[in-house]
Amino acid sequence: MIMKIYKTLKSIKNIFTGDKSNDRYSSLRFSHVDTKGERIAAMTFDDGPCGIICPEGMKLTDFIRETLESYNFKATFDIIGSTEENYPDKPGKLGSFRWSGVCYDHYPCFEEDKIGGAVNNPDIIRRLIDGGFELANHGYRHIACGKQGFPYYGRAFFSQYNDVITDYKRLHDYIYKNFDYNMVGARPPHYAETISGDKTVFDVYRELGYNYYFASFDLGGWEKNETSGNMVKKLKKALEENPDSLCGKVIYQKDGLSMSGDMPIYEALPLQLDLLFSHGYEIITVSELLKRFA
Ligand SMILES: [Zn+2]
């Protein structure tokens, strides 16, 4: 019994640390690598592309790309196809986990689905590919696998393996056919992994030939009442405590709005990248991180 509890706790810990040592899907899940002290990390942006126009007149994802380019950095964009089909639905309560919709996610927000996603922003996708950035599959409609518990209880979910495959393949094929670009990595919406029975998203990824891009450092931008000041403070604190603490990590960022409907990434990103640069970091894509160090 004690052994069983120990094993359960260890497997939960592995989910959050990305520990590869005790995981039957070990070859697929990456959250960090050993860079042998080199200050190199991967940065990932979820839920875009996002066509919200920033104060200087460009789309948010273009702003993120240009900001990264100004430091000669690269990143991986965990893109969605579109959330336009996620209706009928009702708007959720701002600040709650269902902020964008009661039954489904809507990106960038409820009833504004037409300015989000890859199929509505082919211009952004083209510029990302041309700039040498990586695209990874975050599901066409951003629907979680398997029945969800707190805080997403009662939401729509995929319960069939074939539905999950179809959703991922739909986005994969769209990007491949229109941009001649082959995605090799994926991250499941809300990190939900179990579909039903013993079927998991790892079975889907194995069939599609994807690596699972987990994350090992959260730079924020998604939570309720998140501010750019807090996002910068979080990074500053980590670097002050240990300037090597981000070596080999996969950093999570939000390409879009927070749960409060704000866009703190816009002000935070230039300051965060400046901090990383001044600490001697190079920021690259996940697949490049794996190529160099895995
Ligand atoms: Zn997501």
Reported as a single tens digit per residue, the pLDDT across 115-129 is 999 999 999 999 999
Does some domain include residue 6?
no
* Distance from residue 36's CA to the centre of ligand 1 (Å): 31
pLDDT confidence tier of residue 280, bands split at 50, 70 and 90: very high
Q: Is the pLDDT of residue 268 over 70?
A: yes
CATH code, 131: 3.20.20.370
Two tokens at 30? 């990456």
List the one residue out of 43, 62, 63 whose CA is nearest residue 127.
62
Mean pLDDT, range 61-67, rounded to an integer: 98
What pLDDT shows up at residue 4? 40
* Distance from residue 47's CA to the centre of ligand 1 (Å): 5
What pLDDT shows up at residue 150? 87
Does some domain include residue 19?
no
* Distance from residue 190's CA to the centre of ligand 1 (Å): 6
What pLDDT shows up at residue 235? 97
Q: What does the pLDDT look like over 9-37, one tens digit per residue?
A: 344 334 444 444 334 344 578 788 999 99
Does some domain include residue 17?
no
Q: Is 164 exposed, middle or buried (0-12, 13-18, 19+ CB in 10 A)?
A: buried
What pLDDT shows up at residue 251? 97
Q: Is the pLDDT of residue 1 over 70?
A: no
Query: For 104, phi and psi rounded to 5 degrees?
Result: -135, 170
Does some domain include residue 3?
no
Mean pLDDT, range 267-273, rounded to an integer: 98
List the one residue out of 152, 160, 141 whose CA is nearest residue 200.
160
Identify the residue with better confidence: 290 or 10: 290
List the one residue out of 224, 220, 231 whose CA is nearest residue 254.
220
DSSP class of residue 190? G
Helix (H) or strand (E) holding 8: helix 2-17
* Distance from residue 6's CA to the centre of ligand 1 (Å): 30
List the one residue out of 133, 136, 5, 145 whose CA is nearest residue 66.
133
* pTM of the model as a whole: 0.91
Does some domain include residue 113?
yes
Counting Cα atoms < 13 Å in the Cβ hemisphere of 253 gives: 33
Omega cis (within 30) before 151: yes
Q: Is the pLDDT of residue 171 over 80?
A: yes
Two tokens at 155? 């939401």
Does some domain include residue 5?
no
Mean pLDDT, range 231-259, rounded to an integer: 97
CA dist., res. 208 & res. 185, Å (int): 9
> What is the chain's length?
294
What pLDDT shows up at residue 9? 38
Domain that holds residue 253: 29-293
* Distance from residue 110's CA to the centre of ligand 1 (Å): 15
Average pLDDT of the chain is 91
Given a contact cutoff of 8 angstroms between Cβ atoms, the answer to whether 286 and 185 are in contact is yes
Identify the residue with better confidence: 18 or 172: 172
Mean pLDDT, range 63-76, rounded to an integer: 98
Does some domain include residue 53?
yes
* Distance from residue 3's CA to the centre of ligand 1 (Å): 34
- Least confident piece of the model among 11-15, 166-170, 205-209: 11-15
Q: Is 38 exposed, middle or buried (0-12, 13-18, 19+ CB in 10 A)?
A: middle
Does some domain include residue 14?
no
CA dist., res. 82 & res. 216, Å (int): 26
* Distance from residue 248's CA to the centre of ligand 1 (Å): 22
Q: What does the pLDDT look like over 134-149, one tens digit per residue?
A: 999 999 999 999 998 8
* Distance from residue 222's CA to the centre of ligand 1 (Å): 10
What does DSSP say about strands 76-79 and 134-137: parallel, antiparallel, or unpaired?
Answer: parallel
What pLDDT shows up at residue 16? 40
DSSP string, 68-124: HHTTT---EEEE----TT--S-----TTSTTTT-SSS--SSSTT-GGGBSTTT-HHH
Mean pLDDT, range 43-60, rounded to an integer: 96
How many domains does the structure of the chain reveal?
Answer: 1
CB burial string 120-151: b at 16+ within 10 A, e below: bbeebbebbeeeebbbbbbbbbbbbbbbbeee
Mean pLDDT, range 194-200, rounded to an integer: 94
